[in-house]
Structure 1
Amino acid sequence: QSRLVATGDYAPSILSPWRAAKEAKREELDSELEIAQLAKRYGPKHPKMIAAKAAHQARISRMKKEVDIVLNNIDKEFERAQWLEKKLQKQFDDLKLQAQAIDSKQSEYRALERNLEADQKLYDTFLTRFKETNISSGNNTPNARIIDEARVPGGHYWPNLERIVAIATLAGLFLGLLLAFLLDYINDTLKNSQDVEEKIGIATLGNLQVLKSDKSNLSPERMYIDDQKSLFSESIRTIRTGVLLTSLDSPDKVVAVTSSVPGEGKTTVSINLAVALGQLEKVLLIDADMRRASLGPHFGIEKNTPGLSDLLAGTEEEAKCIIHNEDAGIYILPAGMIPPNPQELLSSQRFSEALQKLASHYDRVIIDTAPTQLVSDAILVANQASGVIYVIKAESTPYHLVKEGVKRLRQVDSHIIGGVLNQMSQGASGYGGYYKYGKYRNYDYTY
């Protein structure tokens, strides 16, 4: 402590209590000197001696209290320094990986340059030989002569075009049918609600088609807000009805929305379902995908706005983290600052207590969480939720991945409300002129 004060290497929160402790220690020494002087003149039971000893004990108590405050502040500053060290180490590791990637690219670039030089030399050699061959062949005199003139035949002998066309047509039809059956046999994706119920064993709450081409200027995440008369919005209302009817006696107040892998549209389903439920209930939408937070931009919420991570860490109050969006008619709890390890926050007791408290304030809580096959975040959230909706991208995600994700949820006794088959193609839905949406290719932290 003396070294900290002497060198100035201390946090501002330690300086003031340290000065107070130092002042208390000086007063204690002064009181001891005063008692020693009074003892020369008075006995131990003299009123002045008793008063001096009482004042001395009070100063000792004050000095101990100030020292405890200093030690407590030092412990807090030490914990904060450890957290900053971990954060800086993570940034250093990321920069190190980037540097290694740049070195690898430079090596590839030099190899390509060497190949280019070798190919250029080889091309120049062949070009020179070609010109030399042309020059030498021009000097040669042909040694052949015509013996008999060729005669034009009256008709072709081969090939027989009619027979070839007939054989080719039959072969093409046969190969086409064979290829169609083969593709259908090896296709291990889910194409309709019947596949979901038979292969996965969960009910289908509804199907979502890919957006029409004339809706390309609208964001799929805000489709229910911007165009409530569309087929997409009607499908969302069907899913809303399924959620409300699956648990009439004991409603699923906390509903987690997940998928097997990124790009299946779980965020799209979370936002539109929350807005649809918001027309009937008081709804809170939570972004628990803290590795790749994506709710904020769709509602104009700036990055690093206080949110779930700040609420669980205890750095911000609930009122500062929850945002009311009047356009959507719902309350939103963004992800907040990206933590070093989201699993620690989601598995903490504070997360469970926060969900219970939020569920008591709102009629329905919708949680957008991470995919099940990449990290364990979704399993931790589903364990705290009262129900789970599983989003599946039609004709894209292999059914064994979906089956494995559902199995992991059931291992923690999660109640799976049902599945949503998303981005169904034209052939499966009967509607034409659509384009695909809801993709993000890589899944990692975003800063």
Structure 2
Amino acid sequence: MATQDIQDQPQRRQSAPVPGPVSFDLSTAAASAVRRTTGMLLRHKLLIGTVIVLGTGIAGLVALRMTPLYTAQTLIMVEHRKNQVMNYQEVVSGLSTELGALQSEVAILKSPAFAEKVVDKLGLMNDPEFNAALRPEQTNWFYYLNPKNWLPDSWWNSARGDRPEITLSPEEKTANERTSVVNNFIENLAVRPQGRSYVIAVDFDSEDPRKASLIANTIGEMYLVDQLDEKFKAAKRATAWLEERITELRREAKTTGEAAEKYRAESGLTNANGETTLIAQQLAELNTSYVLARTKRQEAEAKLREVSTLAQSPRGVSAIGDVLGSPLIQALRQQEVELQRKIADAANKYGARHPTLTALQSELRDLQGQIKADVGRIVQNLSNEVELERGREAALKTNLDQLQAQRNQQQESNVTLRTLERDAETSQTMYEAMLTRFQEIAGQTEIQQPDARIVSEAAIPLNPSQPNKKMIVLLALIASATLGVLLAMLREQSERGFRSPHQFESATGVRSLGIVPAIGRRRRGTSPAAYAIDKPMSAFAEAMQNLRTTLLLANPDGHQRVILFSSSVPGEGKSSIAAAFARICANAGQKTIILDCDMRRKGLHPMLGLENRHGLYEVLSGECAPNEVIQTDPRTGLHFIASGRGSALPQDMLGSSRMHQLISRLALEYDRVILDSPPVLAVSEGKLLAALADQTVFIVHWGKTKRETAMAGLKEIVEAGGEVVGVLFSQVDIRRHAQYEFPDSGRYHGYRRYYAN
């Protein structure tokens, strides 16, 4: 709300700008960004340089104090071609050359178990480089730079929440010490495959170059020995197992063979294959005879049924002759036909009662009787033949069943026998295979070869591999420079003060009255009021002249003569600027008077070199007349009323009617009436004075006064009815101000040839 209230006032005085075409040049924007970045770096060059120097110096010091390490390298190649003296299968298969197999060998070389073997072989338990318990206590200054060494270990343990220390037995302490040595050994060991080859590089770092070479070569030798040892152990385990298994198989083969022979003897199967073949032939022949007999029986039965059926039919006798194909029946049938023809002829010729016809009919009856008798005998013969075939079939069936039962029994015995023989044969085969494998392994034991070989032994390194001091310093330089820039950016973002009137105008809408350069260090002992007169061609004096000109242009008719110089908090240079401005105005021929209205601090009279025996307090209290307290500056003719020596409440004094009358009288007598006000946020008198002044110049300490503080002070003046003519920035570092990318950046500094500072 405060900002909105402040912004509303100047907006009422100004007309809205007419929007026009906007152009945007990328090259211009990029150049502007570069200038802003460069300015930021230049503004914080001290911070960045300090961080770079400290960071690089500490890194260089650490690099110099670091113990140099020497790296020795041994190259081990995994054999992908096998030398086979005998074409035997190995107990432990050779190493695969796939990436997974090479990584497994790398893991073996870096395993604690393998490292422990090397530690034992070289006696590294007694080496202080790996056994921290044997190292002497460090007491040099570099040791004390480590913050961890500033406090006892018990304090660190308590801070981490560790449990109380556990009491260990001597054996457990030795085991822990051994584990620590192995871990230190592994930390200095680097194992990696070299590209897509079968070569494994083994690097070891040590403080002693000879020790590094010795350990790297020992690792390679121990690796080959470890491979052979594992093969010997595997062969020994396989031999022991095969001996036990061969004994069992020998016993099993003997037992199964004896069981087969015993069953063959009990079953009487001396030649099972031959007997089986003979029975099969007999069974086949008998089965063929049985089939033939059954066929004949079926044919005889069929013929008997047909003949019996025909015998009952009217034409049975004639049909039987055709069916049976009997010559006798056929001859008798022809005679019957001939007699029937003769009887027909005789009946036509002689009549029915003729003796010839009767004789022929008697002969026909005799012939037909003979035919029936012959047919009966044939049917009886067929019945006998059927019974004969049935008997023969039944006999063959009985023999076939007996032979089949004998064959089934023999097959069952053969199956059991073959099972026993297969068991015996399997046991014998396994026994022979195990015996052969045992002999192969026994032959391999004497010709075992490792699956790798050393292609390059580690030489003694002449130059240390660590630390890379140049790289450490370079990285430290880059890191510290980056950190310095980040800190500068953080500091830039964390700045809470206004760096330009343009920022203040954008935030509040109050126009700028310019900037006041800070006085150089060599003239710090001189008051700004004296400096403005002593150095009339200086940038500071020019700033006062610029303020005077701006206020003149803001008041062309000259009616606004009372000017209040106010600020938010003490130390912003308000009194110094008011005194210097008053002297500039008086020196320019304007009749000017300045009043020290800060009755608490009373700091204006030393700046002008005058006294504070009687002043404003005495006038307002009625003790003195205004003419009695006015002092004159001998250098410029400036009139001055000091604050006085009274101790009454300033609020009551400055808010009284006498103060109003005094200001009105002075405004009639002088061209400029300048009031030096106390800070508005510190005390309340500043708001009373703002209501009395025609114009208020609001002072802000460049880059120091917080933005919220400055805006709050401005709000207090506006709410008190003060007419804020503009904001003036004090104590501006024109060199740093020129490094910002503001519209007024570079003012005074960019044109310093025009000034005599």
Unaligned stretches of 5+ residues in structure 2? 1-207, 211-460, 739-745, 751-757
Per-residue Cα deviation, 1:180-200 (whole angstroms, up to 9, x for no partner): 221111111011121121123
Distance 2:673 2:538 in 1: 25
In structure 2, the CA distance between the partners of 1:185 and 1:151, relative to structure 1 (3 Å rule), is closer
**Which residue of 602, 617, 620 corresponds with 1:293?**
602
Aligned to 2:665: 357
Whether the 8 Å CA contact 1:218–1:226 is kept in 2: the answer is no
Aligned to 1:185: 493
TM-score by length of 2: 0.36
Unaligned stretches of 5+ residues in structure 1? 1-149, 433-447
Whether the 8 Å CA contact 2:529–2:608 is kept in 1: the answer is no
Whether the 8 Å CA contact 1:200–1:399 is kept in 2: the answer is no
1:220 and 2:528 aligned:
yes
How do 1:41-440 residues align onto structure 2 when only pairs under 5 Å count? 154-249=462-557, 251-278=559-586, 279-303=588-612, 305-425=613-733, 426-429=735-738, 431=749
Distance 1:354 1:414 in 2: 18
- Report the CA distance between 1:302 and its aligned residue: 2.6
How do 1:13-24 residues align onto structure 2 when only pairs under 5 Å count? none
SS of alignment partner, residue 496 of structure 2: coil
* Larger CA deviation: 392-401 vs 195-204: 195-204
Distance 1:251 1:175 in 2: 57
Distance 2:609 2:590 in 1: 23
Larger Rg: 2
- Report the CA distance between 1:214 and its aligned residue: 4.1
Whether the 8 Å CA contact 1:287–1:368 is kept in 2: the answer is yes
Distance 2:625 2:476 in 1: 74
Aligned length: 284
Letter in 2 for 1:319: N
Distance 2:648 2:581 in 1: 30
Letter in 2 for 1:196: F
Letter in 1 for 2:611: E
Distance 1:270 1:233 in 2: 12
Aligned to 1:440: none
Per-residue Cα deviation, 1:138-182 (whole angstroms, up to 9, x for no partner): xxxxxxxxxxxx766622132122432333233223222222221
In structure 2, the CA distance between the partners of 1:313 and 1:217, relative to structure 1 (3 Å rule), is closer
SS of alignment partner, residue 211 of structure 1: coil
Per-residue Cα deviation, 1:77-124 (whole angstroms, up to 9, x for no partner): xxxxxxxxxxxxxxxxxxxxxxxxxxxxxxxxxxxxxxxxxxxxxxxx
* Larger CA deviation: 319-328 vs 209-218: 209-218
Whether the 8 Å CA contact 2:517–2:730 is kept in 1: the answer is yes
Letter in 2 for 1:286: L
In structure 2, the CA distance between the partners of 1:213 and 1:351, relative to structure 1 (3 Å rule), is same
- Report the CA distance between 1:202 and its aligned residue: 1.4
Distance 1:397 1:214 in 2: 25
Q: Normalized per residue, which structure has more helix?
A: 2
C-alpha root-mean-square deviation of aligned residues, in Å? 2.2
- Report the CA distance between 1:377 and its aligned residue: 0.8
Whether the 8 Å CA contact 2:582–2:593 is kept in 1: the answer is yes
Per-residue Cα deviation, 1:38-69 (whole angstroms, up to 9, x for no partner): xxxxxxxxxxxxxxxxxxxxxxxxxxxxxxxx
SS of alignment partner, residue 703 of structure 2: coil
Distance 1:196 1:151 in 2: 68
SS of alignment partner, residue 378 of structure 1: helix
Distance 1:220 1:250 in 2: 27
Letter in 1 for 2:660: S
TM-score by length of 1: 0.60
- Report the CA distance between 1:366 and its aligned residue: 0.2
Distance 2:557 2:527 in 1: 35
Whether the 8 Å CA contact 1:244–1:251 is kept in 2: the answer is no
Distance 1:343 1:220 in 2: 29
- Report the CA distance between 1:362 and its aligned residue: 1.0
Whether the 8 Å CA contact 2:610–2:633 is kept in 1: the answer is no
In structure 2, the CA distance between the partners of 1:161 and 1:335, relative to structure 1 (3 Å rule), is same
- Report the CA distance between 1:285 and its aligned residue: 0.5
Distance 1:369 1:268 in 2: 12
Whether the 8 Å CA contact 2:528–2:577 is kept in 1: the answer is no
Distance 2:525 2:713 in 1: 33
SS of alignment partner, residue 705 of structure 2: coil
Distance 1:186 1:300 in 2: 40
In structure 2, the CA distance between the partners of 1:322 and 1:396, relative to structure 1 (3 Å rule), is same
